[in-house]
Structure 1
Amino acid sequence: MSRPAPSPIYTLRGAGGALNTLHFSCQGGDTPLLFSGSGKGSIHIWNLNTRRALKIVEGHAGSSVIWVSTLDCVLCCCILQGRDMQVCLWDLSEGRCEVVDSVWTGSVGFCQCSTLETSPGNFLLAFAGEQTEEIKIIELPSKSQVCTLVPDAKLGMVMCIKLLQVRSGPLLVAGYEDGSLLLWDVTQRSRLSLVKAHPEPVMCLTFDTKRLRGISGSSEKKLSSWTLDRQNNLQGCVTLVNPGVSQLCVRGDGKLLASAGWDHRVRLFGWKKLRPLAVLQYHTDMVQSVAFSDHQDPRQRLLAAGSRDQRISLWSIYSEGGDTG
């Protein structure tokens, strides 16, 4: 049985559009931050102490912002992806607000970028390319091209990607329009594994490098859990009450999984056994993004959910030492 659902501890309003993406930065100094990107092209940087917008950045010429991240743990360099086919790096230090570099992707889809720090100050940036099934990976800040990944088979448009670091080096997991998941070796520029996880397009995925296990969602009424190894194993699935998942996120301690639902709800599962724990009901429209905060103190960690209703809900769901299953 699911546990009684909590209520949000507070909400953030005034984003000016549907919330497409959320990103926490809570380890740089005394001010925990939440970045949000909206369908109207605005990026809000929320001060979680005052619960107000510290800064509002109008980027991408009014085009929808579909992904936001930071390249370090302080309010210094923010990286944004918009529907104008641009990925822009913003310098937000010392009150500045200016684009210092940009990358043209050529992609007309909604596939969010992914970054991976390979060494101090150096990052890989993966993004969907101009061609339907193409994924490009470059190195930042040099913008030198690392590789272009195109599957041999016709899998349709690339829908979602995730860079991850394992002992052998950087890998990339990609979900495609035909429901396939493909594991790439970035260094060798080669395909390692392919699995058909869904009958519908893969809408979202996330991966836990500690357990070497991932999970993905689509427009159907289930989540698929998998390991991408030589056996192409599908470990199991979770049946949902209503169809459609926008985003999935595993908490940093590996105990909780959150899903953003098309049915306006956020669902929590124990990551170990995928046991349903709670259904969070607050929003009045599709939930499009979920993110766990990265506070150093686990007791301060939050879950944020962003919706098409233009509101961000924040939830405190920390359970010290509890086995969520």
Structure 2
Amino acid sequence: MAILPPDPIYVLRGDMGPVHCLDFRISPYVEHLYAGAENGCVDIWNADGSNWILDKTIDTDYCGFSRYQILTDDIILLPLPNSQVGALSLTTQEFVYKLDPMVSKVPKPLGEVMAIKNCSLENNIILIAYESGDIAAWNIKDRVVVSWLNTDSCPMTINFDNYWMRGIIGNPTDKLEVFDLNKSNQLVHKTSITLKNSGTSVIASRPDSKVFAAGGWDGRVRIFSWKTLRPLAVLNQHRSNIFDIIYSKEKVQAFNNKNLMAAAGKDGTVSLWDLYNQ
């Protein structure tokens, strides 16, 4: 008998339209979930006991698809034209430096920057995925590429876990590509995970390094074990493309949960999940 998928512990519904990005803000004083929508608005949901209510909507007057990465308290990494990534200072609002792959004498055009991942490692490595299917491991201290990994399809998302020193690439195919970052900072392809349907738009790693989640174009959220890379659950709450998945880094008191997962996408709802926390 097939195991039925679990139900979400809560679903946030409003007039948000497609939701492209999520973020938790958890402190002793507030428990907020921010939802950035395609219409340029940011909806702020407040946990009131075990319920969530829409607290505020902010119109940013901006619509875009590129994601930035936080590098330090002052520096964020932004995709730029010509396959470049810029390090922008929030203090001066100027670029401190730019990572230009042409300096590394790339033998072919790389196309657009598709994804950036700060590995949060002492060796100053960040990962940049390009439209060409190439993944670069950049040493941001020396501003040079130390390793390349070539894949056969345009990467849509990339994530990395610094406990396992392992990363996952999602793309338009029915495969998740798995790679390792070895002690010499070389990217090494490990294996591929086959999915039932094609297209992965987002991958999220839980802070405790036990599981990761892949959001698909089919509206499914697939949960995998980091240790074994085996599938654990397929969540079918959403009706269309999943755009973002996040985990809370702090305990959410409203649900007594340290690793609350939130998922959102084209259908305009945000689902909250309590999975594998025992």
TM-score normalised to structure 1 length: 0.77
Contact 1:147 1:186 in 2 (8 A): no
Structure 2 counterpart of 1:310: 268
Aligned length: 266
Please list, as runs of the form range in 1=range in 2, the aligned pairs for 1:69-108 lying within 5 A after superposition.
83=64
Structure 2 counterpart of 1:226: 179
- Point out where structure 1 has 5 or more consecutive residues left out of the alignment: 65-82, 84-109, 321-325
Q: Give the whole-Å Cα distance in 2 for the aligned partners of 1:270 and 1:175.
A: 23
Structure 2 counterpart of 1:188: 142
Instruction: Identify the range of structure 1 (217-226 vs 137-146) with the bigger mean alpha-carbon deviation.
Output: 137-146
Q: Deviations over 1:262-316 (max 9, x none)?
A: 0011000011111100000111111111111123377343111102111111111
Structure 1 counterpart of 2:220: 265
Please list, as runs of the form range in 1=range in 2, the aligned pairs for 1:245-260 lying within 5 A after superposition.
245-260=200-215
Structure 1 counterpart of 2:131: 177
Shift in CA distance, 318/123, structure 1 to aligned 2, threshold 3 Å: farther
Letter in 1 for 2:269: R
Contact 1:301 1:318 in 2 (8 A): no
Shift in CA distance, 270/159, structure 1 to aligned 2, threshold 3 Å: same
Q: Give the whole-Å Cα distance in 2 for the aligned partners of 1:165 and 1:16.
A: 32
Structure 1 counterpart of 2:87: 137
Q: Give the whole-Å Cα distance in 2 for the aligned partners of 1:30 and 1:301.
A: 19
Q: 2:153 aligns with which of 181, 194, 200?
A: 200
Letter in 2 for 1:46: W
Structure 2 counterpart of 1:294: 249
Shift in CA distance, 319/3, structure 1 to aligned 2, threshold 3 Å: farther
Please list, as runs of the form range in 1=range in 2, the aligned pairs for 1:33-44 lying within 5 A after superposition.
33-44=32-43
Q: Give the whole-Å Cα distance in 1 for the aligned partners of 2:117 and 2:171.
A: 16
Shift in CA distance, 300/208, structure 1 to aligned 2, threshold 3 Å: closer
Contact 2:259 2:277 in 1 (8 A): no
SS in 1 for 2:257: helix
Q: Give the whole-Å Cα distance in 2 for the aligned partners of 1:263 and 1:310.
A: 15
Q: Give the whole-Å Cα distance in 1 for the aligned partners of 2:54 and 2:239.
A: 22
TM-score normalised to structure 2 length: 0.89
SS in 2 for 1:166: coil
Please list, as runs of the form range in 1=range in 2, the aligned pairs for 1:36-55 lying within 5 A after superposition.
36-49=35-48, 50-55=51-56
Letter in 1 for 2:28: G
Contact 2:16 2:43 in 1 (8 A): no
Please give the root-mean-square deviation of Cα atoms over the aligned residues, in Å: 1.9
Q: Deviation above 6 Å: which 4+ runs of structure 1? A: none
Contact 1:128 1:134 in 2 (8 A): yes
Matched, 1:285 2:235: no
